[in-house]
Structure 1
Amino acid sequence: MKFGRPDTEFMNGGGSLMLVSCSCLMQLSSWSLLEANYFKRYVYNDYNFTIATLWSPFLVKSRDADHRGHDINSLMSLYLDEPDEAWLTQVEQFDYVIVSAGQWFFRPLIYHENGRVIGCHKCEQDMTSFVTSYGYRKAFRTVFRTLRSLKNYKGVTFLRTFSPSHFENGAWNEGGNCVRTSPFTKEETKLDGYVLEMYLTQVEELKAAEEQGLQRGLQFRLMDTTEAMLLRPDGHPNFYGHSPHRNMTLADCVHWCLPGPIDTWNEILLYMLKTGYRPSR
């Protein structure tokens, strides 16, 4: 694999990467690709089937708020009660919608609700400070509320749960990396700390959406991948996945290699679609 990891064990087992994985699994069929900015659609005319990614890292409306410009850790504003128009204008045409978001919520953020600033997250400004899960919860609540309110939306909504990172030997900006070449055993790690908090936040909001969705006959279903991915520190690019001529000083222990562990996500999705399986919570 060009610019890929030298080991291959990560390819065993199991966002936008899920779409790429799914498209790879369907390579035997003819398809066409439509792209616009971060949005992609794979159209399979033989099957009257389209898969797409509607890129919206916060799910709600956002904009840059840092006078120094945008970078990997710059300040951004989130409008927690306003859905992102990027997906809102297109979502009604889909039969199945997978909602996911995660790591972007750890950056410095200013929170807006009801047309005013209510506080921030890691902003180092003189205002109310909120924990990460506050904005995360409000974003999912807004998404689920919006989907229930859309007159022409009749799709099945899946929540794909939080995907953990695996930095070791330091944080992402402090020399952290992910050099492991085999999965954790269940005895080596467990679902706790911030990963558990983010996971439970999502699940609680989905449960509320499930109950409220019944009034319109809408299904909200849990696609629970968090614990499985927690066991896969070997599935990230680390310093690979790019031209060796690029000067990479930060390891990527957030995104996933393809092929790799996230191929399992599509296997889980297919199983849920075929059987109607609903995981117990």
Structure 2
Amino acid sequence: MESGKANPIELPTTTTTTTTTTTTTNGNLHKPLINTKHFILPVTTLAILIILHLYIGNFSDHRLINPPAGNSTGGGDKCNLFQGSWVFDDERETYYTNESKCIIDDRQNCMKYGRPDTDFLKWRWQPDKCDLPEFDAVEFLEVVRGKSLAFIGDSVGRNQMQSLVCMLAAEAYPIDVSHTNDTRFRRWAFPPYNFTLVAIWSPLLVKTRDPNPENFTRNSLMNLYLDEADEAWTSELDNIDITIFSTGQWFFRPFTYYEKGEIIGCHFCNQENITEISLYYAYQMAFKTTFTTLLNLQNYTGLIFLRTFSPQHFENGDYNNGGNCIRTKPFTKQEMKLDGYKLMMYSTQVNEFKAAQKEGEKKGLKLRLLDTSDAMIMRADGHPNHYGHPASDNKSYPDCVHWCMPGPVDTWNEFLLEMLKMEGEGFIERTPQRNTTKLNLR
């Protein structure tokens, strides 16, 4: 309902009936006497409608937000942050630039390497029934004061992590305390708030092994153990308060699948004696294993997010045969929706999430859905394409998977802040054994 506008009351219609007349002793015709029951119902109905109209009018300006569960479908007058449109805002300013005091991976540093258009920075996300507030670094750091937050997943998860570090740098200088040169495992400290932000590389969430690590390529056949969670993150959970899991693009590569230590099939392995199994099964099992591991933890009180599938936008071919992403403005939601394999990836992970969330409620485990997919399917303009690496590097493929920084990926952290605020104060019961200084990040 639009604020400040009164909706007209539509009175209920009545059904026309034939009225029986009676004749008096003097021969005059009279209609039968009207009993009170004939007008009590219409009058009562009218009164109820008037009261409802006045009530709705008085509260039409109030914004309602989905409960902390963060489900992707809302109902009634509640606002679903994740359903909306991208709106051009010429006055919109970025939260940081390529000259800010934070680390932007060169592969996503579009402005540094000469992207000529800037309109892709001017679009803001507008939910259908409410507003998404701008990101406030001070507010975020106050919400997470004394806590640790980990991004667990692949390079797109790292993309969001670096975006958050840069957004927070406006308030507090991030100190890199990783003690490693491996950029896949990072740890940033914000001492004034006793807050630690961590990136843990686990691109498939479950255990993997490279048979030939010395000759690893995009097409190397890897072993994937679908029923064993990756120790890279399971070994660190006791020291983490908030986790954000995400993965997607790695599942399209060749794999040999294992369960209970035995080969059950493969994907793109081209071996006649091994059964070809759909990548969607592997994707489902990876999340089932992840959530089962979390549900089986003893006395774990952390807050767990699943950030949903991040779609790629290659057009005119794949990454290695002429594909690119040269659009300079978003699609509308009428032009582009999740479909095909992207919808399958999204549905697969969300179905596993919902099952785990239901079980988690029984155990007091908080699982939340950071549902970015519908918003990002429209942002074909937000990828680096050929502007995410030095111009002299002519051998690099176009990148239509990751997101420019700054860019639409920053909206994910606007979502994150609102979801953390929905949890309310004291949303995490700090346990004595957690110690953010003991994270062993290789």
TM-score, length of structure 1 as denominator length: 0.94
Q: Equivalent residue for 1:70?
A: 216
1:249 Cα deviation from its structure 2 partner = 4.6
1:236 Cα deviation from its structure 2 partner = 0.5
Q: Equivalent residue for 1:120?
A: 266
Pairs within 5 Å for 1:1-281: 1-12=111-122, 13=124, 15-27=157-169, 28-35=171-178, 36=180, 37=182, 38-65=184-211, 69-126=215-272, 127-276=274-423
TM-score, length of structure 2 as denominator length: 0.61
User: In the TM superposition, what whole-angstrom CA distance separates every residue of 1:83-140 from its partner, at most 9, and x where no partner exists?
Assistant: 1111111122111111100000000111000110100111111211111211111001
Change (3 A) 1:249 1:93: closer
Q: Distance in 2 between matches of 1:66 and 1:176?
A: 29
Give the fraction of aligned pairs with identical amino acids, expressed as a percent. Answer: 53
Task: Answer whether contact 1:92 1:152 (CA < 8 A) is retained.
Answer: no
Q: Distance in 1 between matches of 2:213 and 2:247?
A: 26
Point out the structure with max Rg over C-alpha: 2
SS of match in other structure, 1:10: helix
* Amino acid across the alignment from 1:227: D
Q: Distance in 2 between matches of 1:242 and 1:230?
A: 23
Task: Answer whether contact 2:320 2:397 (CA < 8 A) is retained.
Answer: yes
* Amino acid across the alignment from 1:107: R
* Amino acid across the alignment from 2:316: N
Q: Distance in 2 between matches of 1:159 and 1:147?
A: 12
Q: Distance in 1 between matches of 2:195 and 2:299?
A: 19
Task: Answer whether contact 1:156 1:219 (CA < 8 A) is retained.
Answer: yes
Task: Answer whether contact 1:239 1:248 (CA < 8 A) is retained.
Answer: no
* Amino acid across the alignment from 2:353: L
User: In the TM superposition, what whole-angstrom CA distance separates every residue of 1:183-211 from its partner, at most 9, and x where no partner exists?
Assistant: 01112212110010000001110011111
Change (3 A) 1:7 1:45: same
5+ long unaligned stretches in structure 1: none
* Amino acid across the alignment from 1:263: D
Q: Distance in 2 between matches of 1:66 and 1:112?
A: 17
List structure 1 runs of 4+ shifted beyond 3 angstroms. 65-68
Q: Distance in 2 between matches of 1:248 and 1:238?
A: 13
Higher relative contact order (CA 8 A, sep 6+): 1
Count, aligned residues: 277
User: In the TM superposition, what whole-angstrom CA distance separates every residue of 1:154-202 from its partner, at most 9, and x where no partner exists?
Assistant: 2111110000000000012221000111101112212110010000001
Q: Distance in 2 between matches of 1:116 and 1:33?
A: 41
Change (3 A) 1:67 1:2: closer
1:142 Cα deviation from its structure 2 partner = 0.7
* Amino acid across the alignment from 1:250: Y
Q: Distance in 2 between matches of 1:7 and 1:72?
A: 31
